[in-house]
């Protein structure tokens, strides 16, 4: 990771639940399976496509599907870092494009913990931080961590402010 | 100033509102009009579909019945509507069959806005919108018509009296109004709508142009006439829309509140607490920038659903007069533009390449279409023309882009569409700050810096030097206490190490 020389703010260090990779993989199956099954089926139905082109298209579908299921979730999980400090929520994520986001604690309006059906089975939850400008999500935290952080943010953001 | 008068509700006056009161009779007329509007479509449907024969006589009968029914409904509604001030809360009761009660504690009232539509003007009444923090664009309680005397008394009773004396005030003169309308940025918004209407008309009345509009591009004279008509219609619409919206625009600061009045057919008066202003956006549109003119927009959390006009601090001002305007109307938010931290020279290529390519592709497609339709070879010039326009856009975007942290202000400038937008925000009101690097930017050591305000406005500077973007993000810290500012010779806090000094 690169370090900004003049930055006095520490880099975020906490990670998402390790189950996040599995959950993202399950999610990716939702499009990867139709893709890898659909492309050969459609090609067979159309007919008249040269053999080499057909093999290439099927190979491409399989590669894209495999990347989406195997590589991207792993990469995304490895890149995700977050921290909740006294004065701000700090996120850094992105598998290709890297995004570092700071949300000042004084601006937080409320916090949600969201648990989808699948996430509950894996004991994870999403933390959603709401500000007047919109919301910021830290996905796939271990449930205990999500609840702890929610309470912490609720506590910290209570500090009165001018508005 | 009159803040004392304004802050405290008048107990004596409040007592006079203890018994439920009816609205002004004009309210009967307004609800009759509303009812008629609701009835119009079904009535027309019944009149036409309900059977053949009768013709005009039948239509007139239906219209009369509809009008009478609406009038009766309006009167009944008016009789069933009342308001009162009971134990420190404004109560509003309305509804004939299922009366609704709305109660707002006086302390929760954030503002009382006045609207005067054509009907209220006819009756010499005003419409009051009682705003609460969280309420929608229309106000939690809308008193459709109140006599001016009652309105004054009610305002005083609720602690939101209209100021008698005046603070700093600015009005938009007739010349400025016409200039604002001439250079209205709505032009770009209206053009596609009028274009679509033309295309629709072309489909309907195809005979007018013998066949479809675009089948005869080969005839330049005809095309020119159609284009001129299109632009003319668009211009008339956008011009009159701007005049209707901003006629009589007037903004006044009364202590800690801004009062903004505007509108030709419908007079609107709104008030905004100065403390709720997170920042302003100085918007220099395509037609205004060459004359050094701009619009100043208010950025206020919670007014997000309002239309753009409702968020205007001033519709037309010389860009160099913005600091004076701000000092008068929004004290505490400096309107001067500091020297900005700019993208490095190596970013220019990135600013220009993408729009030039996009312009070239669009231009090429247009040229292809024209040539295919039988246009001459010169049509191919459209392609490089598109690329050139794209490149120019990119160059202007590069020259506009920049940001700066100046004391307690955060300043960000970027090009959005054809306008240059300078965001002057209170630094502590920023809702979110992010730095983004795509893989390509990463290789070039560049990054994109973005902020979000509570008003929903987002500002973004592309392709800053990555370490500068990080430094800017690092400098925006939110300690609980005020940050120890390092003062420069000019007295403004230096933003971050190596940042350009504050020159105005």
DSSP letters along B214-242, please? Answer: GGGTT-HHHHHHHHHHHHHHHHHHHHHHH
Tell me how crowded residue B99 is: count the other CB atoms within 10 A of its CB. 11
Place of tokens 């920038």: B289
Give the one of A7, A101, A132 whose C-beta lies nearest to B454's C-beta: A132
Quick check: B305 pLDDT over 70?
no
**How confident is the model over A134-157, as a mean pLDDT?**
90
Q: What is the pLDDT of residues B41-72, one digit of tens each?
A: 877 777 666 555 566 777 788 888 888 989 99
The pLDDT of residue B448 is 96
Residue of B135 and B314 predicted with greater confidence: B314
Quick check: B360 pLDDT over 90?
yes
pLDDT tier, B204 (very low <50, low <70, confident <90, very high otherwise):
low
Check CB contact of A107 with chain B, cutoff 8 Å: yes
Three-state secondary structure of chain A: CCCCCCCCCCCCCECCCCHHHHHHHHHHHHHHHHHHHHHHHHHHHHCCCCHHHHHHHHHHHHHHHHHHHHHHHHHHHHHCEEEECCCEEEEEECCCCEEEEEEEHHHCCEEEEECCHHHHHCCEEEEEEEECCEEEEEEEEEHHHHHHHHHHHHHHCCCCCCC
The pLDDT of residue B487 is 40
Quick check: A138 pLDDT over 90?
yes
**How confident is the model over B307-321, as a mean pLDDT?**
84
Contact B181/B246 with Cβ under 8 angstroms?
yes
Calpha distance B77→B442 (Å, rounded): 65
The pLDDT of residue B501 is 40
Calpha distance A102→A136 (Å, rounded): 10
Q: What ipTM does the predicted assembly reach?
A: 0.85
Quick check: B103 pLDDT over 80?
yes
Domain boundaries along the sequence of chain B: 345-398
**How confident is the model over B66-91, as a mean pLDDT?**
90
The alpha-carbon gap from B454 to the nearest alpha carbon of chain A, in Å, equals 4
Mean pLDDT across chain B:
82
| CB-based burial, B230-263: b 16+ in 10 Å, e otherwise | beebbbebbbebbbebbbebebbbbeebbbbbbb
Calpha distance A98→A68 (Å, rounded): 18
Per the CB < 8 Å rule, is A107 touching B454?
A: yes
DSSP character for B308?
Answer: G
**How confident is the model over A93-117, as a mean pLDDT?**
91
Contact B316/B174 with Cβ under 8 angstroms?
no
Check CB contact of A1 with chain B, cutoff 8 Å: no
Helix (H) or strand (E) holding B149: helix B148-158
Check CB contact of A130 with chain B, cutoff 8 Å: no
DSSP string, B346-408: GGHHHHHHHHHHHHHHHHHHHHHHHHHTT--GGGGGHHHHHHHHHHHHHHHHHHH-EEEEETT
Report the share of chain A in percent with pLDDT over 90: 58
DSSP character for B108?
Answer: G
Contact B422/B281 with Cβ under 8 angstroms?
yes
| CB-based burial, B199-222: b 16+ in 10 Å, e otherwise | eeebeeeeeebeeebeebbeeeee
Calpha distance B190→B178 (Å, rounded): 18
Q: What's the distance, CA B23 to chain centroid?
A: 31
Per the CB < 8 Å rule, is B479 touching A163?
A: no
Check CB contact of A96 with chain B, cutoff 8 Å: yes
pLDDT tier, B295 (very low <50, low <70, confident <90, very high otherwise):
very high
Helix (H) or strand (E) holding B126: strand B126-131
The pLDDT of residue B485 is 42
What phi and psi, each to the nearest 5 degrees, are found at residue A97? Answer: -85, 125
Report the share of chain B in percent with pLDDT over 70: 83
Per the CB < 8 Å rule, is B466 touching A97?
A: no
What phi and psi, each to the nearest 5 degrees, are found at residue A57? Answer: -65, -40
Place of tokens 């996905």: A139
Place of tokens 């005046």: B166
Calpha distance B392→B351 (Å, rounded): 10
pLDDT tier, B401 (very low <50, low <70, confident <90, very high otherwise):
very high
Here the tokens at position B91 are: 């109560």
* CB < 8 Å to A103, chain B: 431-432
Contact B244/B231 with Cβ under 8 angstroms?
no
* CB < 8 Å to B439, chain A: 96-97
Residue of B15 and B49 predicted with greater confidence: B15
Identify the bridge partners of residue B254 per DSSP, sorted by sequence position.
B257
Quick check: B504 pLDDT over 50?
no
Check CB contact of A7 with chain B, cutoff 8 Å: yes
Residue in chain B lying closest to A102 (CA): B433
Calpha distance B45→B30 (Å, rounded): 24
Here the tokens at position B113 are: 């806005």
Check CB contact of A46 with chain B, cutoff 8 Å: no
The alpha-carbon gap from B465 to the nearest alpha carbon of chain A, in Å, equals 11
The pLDDT of residue B483 is 43
Contact B170/B328 with Cβ under 8 angstroms?
yes
* CB < 8 Å to A130, chain B: none
Task: Order the strands of the B169-171 sheet from edge to edge.
Answer: B141-146, B126-131, B111-116, B267-273, B257-262, B250-254, B169-171
Tell me how crowded residue B468 is: count the other CB atoms within 10 A of its CB. 23
* CB < 8 Å to A97, chain B: 436-439
* CB < 8 Å to B438, chain A: 96-97
Residue in chain A lying closest to B474 (CA): A7
Calpha distance B335→A69 (Å, rounded): 51
| CB-based burial, B110-122: b 16+ in 10 Å, e otherwise | bbbbbbbbebbee
Of B480, B346, B333, B319, whose CA–CA distance to B409 is shortest? B333
Calpha distance A51→A41 (Å, rounded): 14
**How confident is the model over B349-369, as a mean pLDDT?**
92
Per the CB < 8 Å rule, is A9 touching B477?
A: yes
Q: Which residues contact B167 (CB under 8 A, 6 or more apart)?
A: B1, B252, B253, B254, B255
Quick check: B356 pLDDT over 90?
yes
Report the share of chain B in percent with pLDDT over 90: 37
Calpha distance B296→A12 (Å, rounded): 38
DSSP character for B23?
Answer: P
Here the tokens at position B306 are: 């309002």
The pLDDT of residue B218 is 52
Quick check: B353 pLDDT over 80?
yes
Per the CB < 8 Å rule, is A136 touching B432?
A: yes
Quick check: A26 pLDDT over 60?
yes
Quick check: B438 pLDDT over 60?
yes
Residue of A127 and A47 predicted with greater confidence: A127
- The residue among A2, A107, A129, A157 with the most chain B CBs within 10 A of its CB, best to mutate, is A107
The alpha-carbon gap from B138 to the nearest alpha carbon of chain A, in Å, equals 20
Contact B106/B88 with Cβ under 8 angstroms?
yes
Q: Is B439 helix (H, G, I), strand (E, B) or coil?
A: helix
Sign for the pseudo-dihedral over CA of B324, B326, B331, B332: negative
* CB < 8 Å to B275, chain A: 162-163
Of B385, B379, B407, whose CA–CA distance to B504 is shortest? B407
Q: Which of A115-129, B33-47, B218-232 has the lowest mean pLDDT?
A: B218-232
* CB < 8 Å to A6, chain B: 467, 470-471, 474, 496-498
The alpha-carbon gap from B437 to the nearest alpha carbon of chain A, in Å, equals 5
**How confident is the model over B250-256, as a mean pLDDT?**
87
Sign for the pseudo-dihedral over CA of B343, B344, B345, B350: negative
The alpha-carbon gap from B309 to the nearest alpha carbon of chain A, in Å, equals 20
Place of tokens 């099927």: A58
* CB < 8 Å to A105, chain B: 478
Report B:267-306 residues touching A (Cβ under 8 A): 275-276, 301-302
Per the CB < 8 Å rule, is A96 touching B438?
A: yes
Of B355, B353, B347, B352, whose CA–CA distance to B463 is shortest? B347
């Amino acid at each position: 990771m690169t370090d900004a020389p003049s930055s006095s703010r520490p880099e975020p260090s906490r990670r998402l639940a390790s189950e996040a990779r599995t959950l993202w993989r399950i999610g990716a199956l939702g499009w990867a399976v139709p893709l890898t099954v659909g492309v050969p089926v459609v090609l067979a139905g159309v007919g008249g496509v040269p053999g080499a082109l057909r093999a290439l298209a099927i190979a491409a579908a399989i590669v894209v599907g495999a990347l989406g299921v195997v590589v991207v979730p792993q990469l995304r999980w490895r890149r995700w870092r977050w921290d909740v400090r006294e004065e701000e929520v700090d996120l850094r994520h992105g598998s290709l494009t890297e995004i570092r986001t700071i949300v000042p604690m004084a601006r937080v309006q409320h916090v949600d913990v969201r648990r989808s059906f699948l996430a509950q089975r894996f004991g994870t939850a999403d933390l959603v931080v709401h500000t007047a400008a919109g919301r910021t999500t830290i996905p796939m935290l271990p449930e205990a961590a999500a609840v702890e952080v929610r309470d912490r943010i609720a506590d910290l953001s209570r500090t009165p402010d001018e508005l | 100033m009159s803040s004392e008068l304004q802050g405290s509700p008048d107990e004596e006056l409040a007592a006079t509102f203890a018994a439920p009161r009816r609205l002004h009779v004009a309210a009967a007329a307004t609800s009759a009009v509303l009812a008629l509007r609701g009835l119009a479509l079904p009535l027309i449907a019944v009149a036409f579909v309900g059977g053949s024969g009768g013709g005009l006589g039948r239509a007139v009968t239906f219209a009369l019945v509809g009008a009478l029914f609406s009038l009766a409904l309006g009167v009944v509604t008016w009789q069933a509507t009342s308001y009162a001030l009971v134990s420190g809360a404004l109560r509003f009761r309305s509804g004939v069959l299922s009366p609704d009660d709305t109660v707002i504690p006086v302390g929760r009232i954030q503002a009382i806005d006045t609207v005067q539509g054509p009907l209220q003007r006819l009756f010499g009444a005003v419409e009051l919108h009682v705003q609460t923090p969280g309420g929608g664009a229309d106000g939690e309680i809308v008193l459709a018509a109140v006599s001016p005397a009652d309105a004054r008394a009610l305002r005083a009773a609720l602690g939101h009296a209209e100021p008698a004396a005046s603070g700093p005030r600015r009005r938009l003169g007739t010349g400025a109004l016409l200039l604002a309308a001439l250079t209205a940025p709505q032009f770009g918004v209206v053009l596609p709508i009028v274009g679509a209407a033309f295309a629709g008309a072309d489909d309907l009345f195809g005979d007018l142009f013998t066949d479809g509009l675009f089948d005869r591009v080969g005839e330049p004279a005809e095309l020119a006439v159609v284009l001129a008509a299109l632009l003319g219609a668009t211009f008339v619409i956008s011009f009159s829309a701007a005049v209707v919206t901003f006629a009589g625009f007037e903004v006044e600061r009364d202590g800690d509140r801004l009062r903004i009045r505007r509108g030709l057919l419908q007079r609107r008066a709104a008030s905004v607490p100065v403390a709720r202003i997170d920042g302003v956006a100085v918007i220099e549109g395509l037609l205004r920038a060459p004359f050094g003119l701009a619009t100043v927009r208010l950025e206020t959390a919670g007014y997000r659903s309002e239309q753009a006009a409702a968020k205007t601090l001033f519709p037309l001002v010389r860009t160099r007069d913005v600091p004076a305007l701000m000092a008068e109307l929004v004290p505490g938010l400096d309107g001067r533009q500091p020297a900005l931290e700019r993208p490095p020279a190596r970013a220019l290529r990135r600013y220009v390449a993408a729009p030039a390519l996009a312009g070239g592709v669009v231009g090429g497609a247009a040229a292809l279409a024209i040539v295919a339709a039988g246009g001459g070879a010169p049509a191919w010039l459209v392609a490089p023309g598109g690329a050139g326009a794209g490149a120019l856009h990119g160059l202007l975007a590069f020259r506009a882009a920049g940001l700066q942290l100046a004391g307690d202000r955060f300043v960000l400038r970027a090009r959005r569409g054809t306008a240059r937008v300078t965001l002057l925000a209170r630094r502590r009101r920023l809702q979110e700050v992010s730095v983004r690097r795509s893989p390509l930017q990463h290789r070039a050591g560049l990054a994109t810096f973005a902020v979000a305000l509570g008003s929903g406005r987002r500002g973004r500077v592309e392709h800053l030097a990555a370490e500068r973007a990080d430094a800017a993000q690092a400098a925006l810290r939110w300690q609980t206490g005020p940050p120890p500012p390092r003062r420069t010779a000019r007295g403004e806090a230096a933003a971050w190490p190596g940042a350009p000094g504050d020159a105005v």
